[in-house]
Amino acid sequence: MVRSAHTLFGSSLFGMATLGIATLGFLWGSPGQPGAPGKLDGEWRLLEPITYENLTVFPVVTSSEYDTGAFMTLEEGLSRGEVIVREQGAEILMRDRDGVRPAVVQNYGGPSVNQLVLINRSKRPLLLLAGELVSGGKQDRVIGKDRIVPVGAAPLPLNVFCVEHGRWSAGSQFTAATVIVHPSVREQAAVNQKQGDVWASVTSGTVATRPAAAPPPRVAQDQLAMAMETEAPTQSYAKIYGSRRVAPSVDAMVDEVQRRFRKQTAGLKGERVVGVVIAYGGEVAWSDIFASGELFEQYWSKLLRSYAVEAVARPTLREKASVEDAQEFLRQLKGREQTESEPGVYVWREINEGRLSQLELDALQPKVMTVHRLVVRRTS
């Protein structure tokens, strides 16, 4: 079996072997060759940083990428009616792919704050990202972990976290997934996985440590409190950060960073942007990297808005992060590791090293690839 310093998850070799994969090397390198796809120090490259106020974006580019066209996003699936999300215990009317033979699927058990039911009735595997927000039902929720839902899968008990603390009542069916929550909330859902911490990070804006005597954030805690009192009485994440007290600051940052991002990445030749490393002030805090430029583009506008929400709630420190610090977020972490998998579908893993956590999702079909890689500098 081929091994290298950048082999993915050594402790889970046995799991891949049982899936008939000859070598973990296929997860790294160039598409179609041993060691695919291109990643890490030798294959990813950082462009010059884009800085606006306290937010810095380092675009990550590569000349090696995978074809990810087989995957469907949650936003796409819900908008097309090919993905169904319901409260646990709801009756779901299903039809086969030809539109005939309707049947009622009854999900046993009553509604639960931390579990929904999802059905993928499309002809494509469904990609779910931690932090994606689904609106409706008895409360708005966010996805707890990255995962892939295969074609023809049985109704899936989906682990979620509530981001609307003040409502538990019948609402519309879940029809939208247009928001990814900001990094402080994503961290609590994806890494800490505690509902109380998720609620706290929604209402406080950020759980990052604020240096003594730091300049105040663009959106202070009292503004969030007023937004909840006047525009988001149920403490709905979407309403808080879409309110007139918060949204203008977020919009202004998104527009300017997007303008600079397009200018910075417009002249690329033979490379695609596949991700970003994010810093607030002088601290590199986050990264999202995908298997292809196409997949990154599908999530980019939502991700950028999430980074901007985090930025306006953090102190307006003007220090700039270094390229060397950002490069740390491209290396393979070494440390305590845990994995979860669905045979023949995906492998998810988490590696912790110091204050850094690396979460990766590998697809096993139609090709073996690391679809999404997240690294976070934990705030707790």
For 323-348, the pLDDT digits (tens) are: 999 999 999 999 989 999 999 999 99
102 and 89 fall within a common domain: yes
Does the pLDDT of residue 369 top 60, yes or no?
A: yes
346 and 319 fall within a common domain: yes
Domain count for the chain = 2
Asked whether residue 162 is assigned to any structural domain, the reply reads: yes
Q: What is the pLDDT of residue 222?
A: 84
104 and 47 fall within a common domain: no
Task: Classify burial at 182, counting beta carbons within 10 Å of its beta carbon; exposed 0-12, middle 13-18, buried 19 or more.
Answer: buried
Write down which residue in 203, 228, 259 finishes a domain: 203
Asked whether residue 93 is assigned to any structural domain, the reply reads: yes
Write down which residue in 147, 171, 203 finishes a domain: 203
Asked whether residue 238 is assigned to any structural domain, the reply reads: no
Q: What is the pLDDT of residue 172?
A: 62
Q: What is the pLDDT of residue 96?
A: 52
Asked whether residue 224 is assigned to any structural domain, the reply reads: no
**pLDDT band for position 219 (50/70/90)?**
confident
Residues 6+ apart with CB under 8 A from 33: none
185 and 262 fall within a common domain: no
Does the pLDDT of residue 262 top 70, yes or no?
A: yes
Asked whether residue 262 is assigned to any structural domain, the reply reads: yes
Of the two residues 307 and 42, the one the predictor is more confident about is 307
Asked whether residue 4 is assigned to any structural domain, the reply reads: no
Q: What is the pLDDT of residue 224?
A: 83
Distance CA 161, CA 91 (A): 22
Contact 293, 68 (CB under 8 A): no
What average pLDDT does this structure show over 352-376? 96
**pLDDT band for position 92 (50/70/90)?**
low
Asked whether residue 29 is assigned to any structural domain, the reply reads: yes
Of the two residues 170 and 105, the one the predictor is more confident about is 170
93 and 180 fall within a common domain: yes
196 and 133 fall within a common domain: yes
110 and 19 fall within a common domain: no
Of the two residues 311 and 40, the one the predictor is more confident about is 311
Asked whether residue 237 is assigned to any structural domain, the reply reads: no
Q: What is the pLDDT of residue 212?
A: 58
What's the domain range around 89? 72-203
92 and 176 fall within a common domain: yes
88: left (phi over 0), alpha (psi -120 to 50) or beta: beta
Global pTM reads: 0.84
**pLDDT band for position 24 (50/70/90)?**
very low
175 and 54 fall within a common domain: no
78 and 181 fall within a common domain: yes
What average pLDDT does this structure show over 33-40? 36
122 and 189 fall within a common domain: yes
Q: pLDDT tens, 120-177?
A: 999 999 999 999 999 888 888 999 999 999 999 999 999 999 988 878 776 667 877 7
17 and 97 fall within a common domain: no
Write down which residue in 203, 218, 236 finishes a domain: 203
